[in-house]
Amino acid sequence: MNNSTPRLAFLYPGYAAEDDYPRLASMVSPRAEVTVIHTTFDEDAHTVEALTEMGSPQRLTEGARQLEHNNPEAVLWTSTSASFVRGIDGIREQIETLENLLHIPASTTAMAFARATAALNAKRVAIAATYPEDVALLFKAFLEHFDIEVVQITSHGIITAAEVGTLEKEAVLRFATDNNHPDADALLVPDTALHSAAWLEDLEAAAGKPVLTANQVSFWEGLRLCGKLTPQQGLGTLFRVTPWD
């Protein structure tokens, strides 16, 4: 295998928009190798209780054990909400759980959003959230921990990831443009159940500014963690900025 080929693993709860990851792998140069592990949970629901259980160390450990013979260079827990609902300490516990088990760098989609927003030097953001309001407000609080100002937040109250995963291009573009804000440096769309990989440039054209989506920032974070992040075309502003540590 070519040593320059990134080998990334994504722990993904259930089934919704996980096909974004192989799509992104085919869009970067050199092409990446990805492994998607579907983790289990008690309930597909955007509620704090269900998301806390979904992102528990036990669930992450069950998924990570399936990677022990895959030899990835980095691993991501790819549920934004099932990381930020557990707070900063809970996210640290998730990362430590994965790193202690697999002995490779690990992160979560929530942390990827914080780092990607910093990489864009975006001080003020708008959030277009598919979640119910109480969950969306926890994402706002998470970002504020990193001194990111949220100038607008909208929540669409979609309960299940499965439903979010059915939204097609025009609906996703409309969702982004309807929830943009002129004072925002970037628009954040924080749900890994929402397809976006094929439409990243379209989303930015519609919003007129950088757009960060959950699967995009997760893939970016994986490349960053394994030291193989290089500027790319066709994947939005985030992938065109100078890589950083």
CATH number, residue 130: 3.40.50.12500
Q: Is residue 245 part of a domain?
A: no
Widest Cα–Cα separation across the chain: 48
Alpha carbon distance 189, 126 (integer Å): 9
Residue pLDDT, tens place only, 94-111: 999 999 999 999 999 999
Please give the torsion angle defined by the CA atoms of residues 65, 80, 210 and 202, in that order, rounded to the nearest 10 degrees: 80
Same domain, 12 and 104: yes
Q: Is residue 1 part of a domain?
A: no
Using the predicted structure, report yes or no on whether residue 35 has a pLDDT greater than 70.
yes
> Does this model's pTM top 0.75?
yes
Same domain, 65 and 83: yes
Q: Is residue 67 part of a domain?
A: yes
> How many domains does the chain fold into?
2
The pLDDT of residue 1: 43
Alpha carbon distance 36, 128 (integer Å): 25
Residue pLDDT, tens place only, 124-151: 999 998 888 899 999 999 999 999 999 9
235's tokens: 């994947």
Q: Are 177 and 154 in contact (CB under 8 A)?
A: no
204's tokens: 């930015």
Domain that holds residue 62: 7-111+215-240
Say which residues have a Cβ less than 8 Å from residue 176's Cβ, sequence separation at least 6.
Answer: 128, 187, 189, 203, 206, 207, 211
Same domain, 88 and 133: no
Same domain, 123 and 11: no
Nearest-CA neighbor of 164 among 3, 1, 17? 17
